[in-house]
Structure formats: C-alpha cells, structure tokens
Amino acid sequence: MNTMHIHRRQFLGAGAMLAAASLAGCAGMSMGSSIGRVVVVGGGYGGATTARYLKLWGGNVDVTLVERNASFVSCPISNLVLGGYKQMADITHGYGSLKAAGVNLIQGEVVAIDAAGKTVRLADGRVLPYDRLVLSPGIDFLADQIGGLPAALDSGRIVHAWKAGPQTVALRKQIEAMADGGVFAMFIPKAPYRCPPGPYERACVVASYLKAAKPKSKVLVLDGNPEIVSKKGLFEKAFKDLYGGMLEYRPNAELKELSGNVAKLEFEDVKADVLNVIPPQRAADLARSAGLVNMNNRWVGVNWLTMEATAAAGIHVLGDATFPAPLMPKSGHMANQHAKVAAAAIIELLKGQPVNAAPVVMNTCYSFVSGRDAMHVASVHQYDAAEKTFKTVPGSGGVSAAASQIEGRYALSWADNVWADSLAL
C-alpha cells in the first residue's frame, strides 16, 4: 500500500467511509435510466467534491456542475504563492477529470434560482431543471463595514487575496515591489471568517520571504479579534522565535476606515507600504439572492443530516456559506466533508430511502510558518441526534506540538490528496 493510498483512505473520513460502504452496491450502476437530475453550483472544494461523489456513489445520477471560472484555483497553499515558494500553476487545476468521471460541466454564472419551479437560470439565459440543487458558492465580503474599502478594492489599489486567483498574483507583485525597509500591514476581521488560521499563516509566510529578501522590512498584523483565533500558542511562538523584531502583532485592532495607504484604527493611524485587508465575510451573493441566508443575516442554516438549507427544502448548501456547527471551521477540508454527507443523502433521497442518521466528518488544517515548516490542528465531528448538530468527539483530533519540516511535507501531501479527491485527478 503506498502513501497516496493511505492518505486517500484517511481522507474519506469515518462517516464518509460508512456512507461509501452503504452505497457500494450502486457504485457501478452506470447503466439504466437516471435516478434524478442534480445541479451543483460552484466548483470549489464543496461543489466539485459533491459532483464527483454523486457519480462515484450514485452512478446513474445526472450531475451538472456550473462554475463561473475556467479552472479551480486553491486558497490552501496560496499563501505560499505570496511568499514566492509556490507558483500559481501549483495551485491551479482544470475540471477535465471531473468531466471524464461523467459530470456535465458548464462554465457560467448562475443568476437566479426558482425553488418552486426547480430550475436555475444562468447569466447567458440558459435554464437548467433539477430534482435536487446543491450550492457551494463560498463567501462574499461585507466590505462596506470598513470606510473607504469598497472604493479601494474596486480600484485594485487594495486586494484581499481571500479568494485565490488574480488577487493572489496582484498581492505577490505588491510584496515583491515593496522596498527593503517597507511596512507590510494586514488586517484580520472578527471571526467567523474563511480559514481561521489562514491570516496568521499569511503573516508568517510573508515575513519569511521578507526576512530573507528585504530584512529591514516590517510585518504588522492588525487583528480585529481579541487574540489569535487558531493555533494560538504555536503562532505566538513562530511570531517570536522566527520573526521577533520584524513582526508585530496587535490584538483588538479593529480597522474603521482606509485613507490611501493609511489604516485608521480606533485610537491611531497606521501607514503601510503594502496594506492587505481581509474584509468581514458572509455567505456568497447567490445564497443571499436566493433567500437562503437566515443566520445572523450572514450565513445559511442547514439540516446537518442532508445539508439542506433550513429556508428551502431540496436546496443543499455546503462549505463556507453555512452557519457552522459548534467548533466547525470554514475550511476546504470541511467543505469536502460536507459534500460527502450531501452526496450520500441526495442519492438516498432520490431513491426514496432513509439517509445516514449518524454521519461523522473530520478536518485537518495545516499552516505554514515559513516556506518549509508547517503545523496542524485536527478535529472529528459526530452528528448529535438530540441537538441536531455536529459536535466534536471528545479526545479526538489535536494540535501539533511544534511546527516542523516533516509537517510541511504532510501539508503539501494533504493538498495533493484533497485536490485529487475533490477533482477526481
């Protein structure tokens, strides 16, 4: 058994393995008439995985995946692109393998959902009928909560790079163009936001690049939260041991307004040469326009056994757009796991059979603290029938004792495996 096999098996997760086993009888059922039409919107971590597993486990489900972008660009590992340790090509994949797996692919923008008529409409006017709809549209931003930010983002002067793609390239160019002795400042919004450890990883990886290439520079981390949100002790250690003297961390530093490259906080102004603002976040526009946002005016509440939106039966919502279960992170790994719960449930629902009543999902988030060394946090979440939500399994998961080179290698393997699993590579 080679390492790739071990990682892929581990990856499936216990609940997904059970679901796979219970559905194994239909895995080869590609003959016969379709048991139903499923339209999946969003070809990121959640949507791509759902499309793949509907074919893998359902066989004769008619699956159409609609994605606005031509290719999949991964947020995980994109911080390494900012540090110059990886290239965009390393985090970009095509959708060809999903197509080869039997998924109908449409590059386009879904602009409207008719829940009663069970259709979605694309920007080019096409209308797609469905029996079950899956949305994994990710996040959009509450940029107007920070004065001057919408205009700064529109002009391209400030980028968030919190969706990997052109903004990742733009931020890397800004960092490369910064003079030695310059200030790179980044702002972290209050939780919940996509990828809790991601901003601190970014601070470390950018500092790692600057320490080697422009050692007189400074990294200023302005955190809207009262303390580091994830892997606190490990990031504090990295900030001090690896970047002491050049990296400054400020908690409770809520960004109120932008004026040029000056960030106005409550009690002071901060001037930066490169300013990276990660705006507060909410479920993506499509979830909002479809009327599915019913939690804190930001997120989509879901039934965790089927991933159906509580606001609309028959519409399954996954990934970052959902209001999370307790201690459940907004991560690519978790979106991949939501997808497996949804795919298994949809197949059973299409067949008129009961869904798995006890799903289990898991998450591992690696974070790089340099171009080479990483650390992880892991958790296992079991459905609790009494509370109708996922709860972490006591004693499961854990956190690295320290960042290390070997975990850096595991982190890159994790990425290769999740990409292979989600995109059928």
35, 103, 286, 423: which one binds ligand FAD (CB under 6 A): 286
Say which residues have a Cβ less than 8 Å from residue 370's Cβ, sequence separation at least 6: 204, 205, 208, 242, 403
State yes or no: residue 78 binds ligand FAD (CB under 6 A).
Answer: yes
Exactly one of 192, 196, 279, 332 binds ligand FAD (CB under 6 A); that residue is 332
Beta bridge partners of 141: 281
Distance in Å, CB of 342 to ligand FAD, minimum: 11
Please tell me whether residue 43 binds ligand FAD under the rule CB under 6 A: yes
Looking at the Cβ atoms of 68 and 211, the one nearer to ligand FAD is: 68
66 or 347: CB nearest ligand FAD:
66
Largest CA distance in the chain: 68
Token pair of 24, please?
């194994």
Quick one: 102 or 198, whose CB is closer to ligand FAD? 198
Q: Please report, to the nearest 10 degrees, the dihedral formed by the alpha carbons of residues 167, 173, 280, 251 taken in order.
A: 160
CA-to-CA distance for 185 and 210, rounded, in angstroms? 13
Q: Which of residues 289-328 bind ligand FAD (CB under 6 A)?
A: 319-321
Judged by CB under 6 A, the residue of 366, 383, 390, 410 near ligand FAD is: 366
Measured in residues, the chain has a length of 425
407: contact with ligand FAD by CB under 6 A: no
* Single-letter amino acid, residue 403: A
Strands 132-135, 315-317: pairing kind: parallel
The one among 60, 208, 331, 417 contacting ligand FAD by CB under 6 A? 331
Per-position x/- string for 100-139, each x denoting binding to ligand FAD as judged by CB under 6 A, each - no binding: ---------xx-------------------------xxx-
State which residue, 26 or 115, has the beta carbon closest to ligand FAD: 115
CB of 269 to ligand FAD, least distance (A): 27
69 scored as a contact of ligand FAD (CB under 6 A): yes
From the CB of 339, what's the least distance to ligand FAD, in Å? 8
- CA distance readout (Å), 84 to 157, 175, 205: 21, 10, 9
Helix, strand, or coil (residue 344): helix
Q: Which of 37, 231, 316, 330 is close enough to bind ligand FAD by CB under 6 A?
A: 330
Rule CB under 6 A: is residue 189 a binding residue for ligand FAD? Answer: no
Of 15-23, 30-38, 68-76, 248-256: span binding ligand FAD (CB under 6 A): 68-76
Residues 6+ apart with CB under 8 A from 166: none
- In sequence order, what are the residues at sequence separation of 6 or more whose Cβ sits closer than 8 angstroms to the Cβ of residue 238? 204, 369, 403
Task: Kindly tell me which of 70 and 313 has the beta carbon lying closer to ligand FAD.
Answer: 70
CB of 385 to ligand FAD, least distance (A): 26
Nearer to ligand FAD, 60 or 64 (CB): 64
CA–CA distance from 379 to each of 151, 200, 361, 362, 382 (Å)?
A: 39, 19, 9, 6, 10
For ligand FAD, the closer of residues 235 and 366 by Cβ is 366
Question: Binding residue for ligand FAD (CB under 6 A) from 13, 44, 58, 196?
Answer: 44
> In this complex, which beta carbon is closest to ligand FAD, that of residue 293 or of residue 321?
321
Report residue 331 CA to chain centroid gap. 4
Residue pair 34/60 in contact (Cβ under 8 Å)? The answer is yes
Report strand pairing: 127-129 vs 119-122.
antiparallel
Q: Where does 59-165 have alpha helices with state H?
A: 78-82, 96-100, 149-155
Give the C-alpha separation, 363 to 331, whole Å.
8
SS3 156: coil
Of 27-35, 191-199, 219-227, 268-276: span binding ligand FAD (CB under 6 A): 191-199
Per CB under 6 A, contacts with ligand FAD among 240-269 are none
**Cα radius of gyration (the chain):** 21
Three-state DSSP at 184 gives strand
CA gap 185, 280 in Å, rounded: 17
Choose between 152 and 339: whose C-beta lies nearer to ligand FAD. Answer: 339
- 13, 189, 198, 408: residue in contact with ligand FAD (rule CB under 6 A): 198
Site for ligand FAD in 213-242 (CB under 6 A): none
Contact 277, 146 (CB under 8 A): yes
Kindly list the residues in this chain that would bind ligand FAD in the complex (CB under 6 A). Answer: 41-47, 66-69, 75-76, 78-79, 109-110, 136-138, 162, 194-195, 198, 284, 286, 319-321, 330-333, 335, 365-366
